[in-house]
Amino acid sequence: MKIRIDKGELLRGVQIAGNIITPRNVLPILSNILFETTKNKIKLTTTDLDIGISITLDAEIVEPGAITIPTKRLLDIIKELPSGTAQLTTKKNNIVDIQLENCEFRLIGLPKEEFPKLPELKDKEVLELDQDMLKEMLYLTSFAVSHEETRYVLNGLLLEIRAGQEGGQAVIKLVGTDGRRLAAAEKKVDLKARKDIKMIIPYKSIQELMRNLRGDGVVSLVVGQNQVFFEMDNMVLISRLIEGDFPDYNKVIPSASSTKVQLDKERFILVLRRANLLTTPDFQAVKFEVFKNKLVVSKSTPDIGEFKEEIPLEYNGKELVIGFNPNYFLEMLKNWRQDSFSLEFYDAEKPGVVRSGEYVYIIQPMRLGS
């Protein structure tokens, strides 16, 4: 193999493909990136056996071929190369020469035959989704995914697609929960899905997908046997799916409450950040006191101190005292695009609910003093 490629383009490709590689790989080949030539293109592929990424780059193909190269070492080298056109040439015994101007490196690779073969897209239904829409839905739900290994089925994001009836619009829904909060986003889309789809995508795969969605254009989704494929621009992301039954989230979504307050997003974020300064791992709950004309947010932590701040508002419901983990609000609001939001209350023992159109976010209350 002998190729010539712009150093900046090569760096971009290796960085994207190399994101999924971890230092704990048991098999040495999983620390390598596979280079394969096609017509005027070079395809870079990595995998950890749960996720696979392939990205295709423009290149001058002098001699076709394939080789795997240690990803981290290659990335470190490319970063230090000057700007210009790099040349990669394979030699005997899996040696790879990397040249740019007067600089030359020689790395020891592994043969392509040792690299795991990734599944291929064959005769599957292709569904096209708007990248910006999917990206917003992912950011509004994925933060609620559980990271506790004992709750494996909650370690991923539920993706549902309900096929439209008789030419009607399909519905896509994403749901994430860790048992203490739940985020669900739903959109109607012009999608020609032949049947309903339901799958749980691992959090790591969701992270990679969000990292690579650009915000414009479409992303093609294909569901395989216990796998899902996302194809966008010049890259493909393949992920294993989590096996198991996702909890029936509809049971925990309450009907709309007439008891709610309208809050300015930026003002509320600042108040919560100040209250958060006095929280500790043992004392995370912040007190919310809802009165007719104000919301009082306060925090009292033994041996540390106290905080209190009032937010003026209009409220016609019954007065209420309830505790919440402020981080559960902050994580949601970080990706909230609107200037304000409504927070619904029921009573001190029931969840608080943020609702906007087809988005709902449910937060379980905390016992004050905890």
Which pLDDT score, from 0 to 100, does residue 225 have? 82
Looking at domain 126-250, what is its CATH homologous superfamily? DNA Polymerase III, subunit A, domain 2 (3.10.150.10)
Fold of 2-114: DNA Polymerase III; Chain A, domain 2 (3.10.150)
Query: What CA dihedral angle connects 65, 68, 69 and 72, to 10 degrees?
Result: 140
Residue position matching structure tokens 């106290």:
306
**2-114 and 254-363: identical CATH topology:** yes
The rounded distance, in Å, linking the Cα atoms of 103 and 37 is: 24
- Residue range 232-267, pLDDT digits in tens: 989 999 999 999 999 999 999 988 787 889 999 999
Q: pLDDT above 70 covers what percent of the chain?
A: 99
Reported as a pLDDT band with limits 50, 70 and 90, residue 89 is: very high
DSSP character string of 216-247: SSEEEEEE-SSEEEEEETTEEEEEEPPPS---
Which pLDDT score, from 0 to 100, does residue 188 have? 92
Identity of residue 309 = E
Which pLDDT score, from 0 to 100, does residue 275 have? 98
Q: Where are the domains of the chain?
A: 2-114, 126-250, 254-363
The rounded distance, in Å, linking the Cα atoms of 360 and 238 is: 29
φ, ψ of residue 183 to 5 degrees: the values are -120, 130
Which pLDDT score, from 0 to 100, does residue 166 have? 60
Q: Are 32 and 70 in contact (CB under 8 A)?
A: yes
Residues 6 or more apart in contact with residue 363 via CB below 8 angstroms? 180, 181, 324, 325, 328, 329, 351, 352, 353, 354
Name the residue among 16, 42, 57, 47 with its Cα closest to residue 209.
Answer: 16
Q: Are 20 and 51 in contact (CB under 8 A)?
A: yes
The rounded distance, in Å, linking the Cα atoms of 160 and 176 is: 12
| Alpha helices in the chain, H assignment, sequence order | 7-18, 71-80, 131-139, 203-212, 265-276, 326-333
Question: Domain 254-363 carries which CATH code?
Answer: 3.10.150.10
The rounded distance, in Å, linking the Cα atoms of 287 and 295 is: 10
The rounded distance, in Å, linking the Cα atoms of 231 and 239 is: 12
Name the residue among 341, 291, 282, 284 with its Cα closest to residue 321.
Answer: 291
Q: Which residue has the higher pLDDT, 193 or 219?
A: 219
Quote the DSSP letter at residue 283: B
The rounded distance, in Å, linking the Cα atoms of 254 and 353 is: 8
Whether pLDDT at 123 is above 90 = no
The residue-averaged pLDDT of 297-311 equals 96
- Residue range 173-206, pLDDT digits in tens: 999 999 999 999 999 998 888 889 999 999 999 9
Q: Name 232's bridge partners.
A: 235
Q: Are strands 103-108 and 41-47 parallel, antiparallel or unpaired?
A: unpaired
Which pLDDT score, from 0 to 100, does residue 370 have? 65
- Residue range 341-358, pLDDT digits in tens: 999 998 899 999 999 989
Q: Are strands 2-6 and 85-90 parallel, antiparallel or unpaired?
A: antiparallel
CB-CB neighbours of 203 under 10 Å: 18
Q: What residue ranges in 253-358 does DSSP mark as E strands?
A: 260-264, 286-290, 294-301, 305-312, 320-324, 340-344, 352-356
Tell me the pLDDT of the chain averaged across its residues: 93
| Alpha helices in 247-311, H assignment, sequence order | 265-276
